[in-house]
Amino acid sequence: KAGVTQTPRYLIKTRGQQVTLSCSPISGHRSVSWYQQTPGQGLQFLFEYFSETQRNKGNFPGRFSGRQFSNSRSEMNVSTLELGDSALYLCASSLGASGVGETQYFGPGTRLLVL
């Protein structure tokens, strides 16, 4: 079974631009979560989507948004990019919505550099 895929793998943008990242979950998985990872910090939770609905949202500004499609693929958008948005963006899929014992499987991430 194919794992979680993310595109693009690398991205360079300039301040003020916007960016869209894509995540395709493992076949049959209906939940997708997004995280931001920066050196020295733990994974910071952005949001979780399940069955096209946002279930949970982390403490990020409104510039960060996402959506999920009927085939469970998910996109994340960041508008008006700032230098501090440079990070590795990871998505993780799970069979069901986040809950006791629900394991998340991660994609390789998209490394975003904002200049």
Interacting residue ranges for another protein, rule: CB under 8 A: 4, 33, 35, 40-45, 48, 56, 58, 90, 97-109
Nearest distance from C-beta of residue 114 to another protein, angstroms = 19
Q: Which residues pair with 14 in a beta bridge?
A: none
Sign of CA dihedral 87, 25, 55, 52: positive
Nearest distance from C-beta of residue 107 to another protein, angstroms = 6
Nearest distance from C-beta of residue 61 to another protein, angstroms = 18
Pick the closer one to another protein by CB: 10 or 70: 10
Helices vs strands, H then E, count in the chain: 0, 11
Alpha-carbon distance of 90 to 92, in angstroms, equals: 7
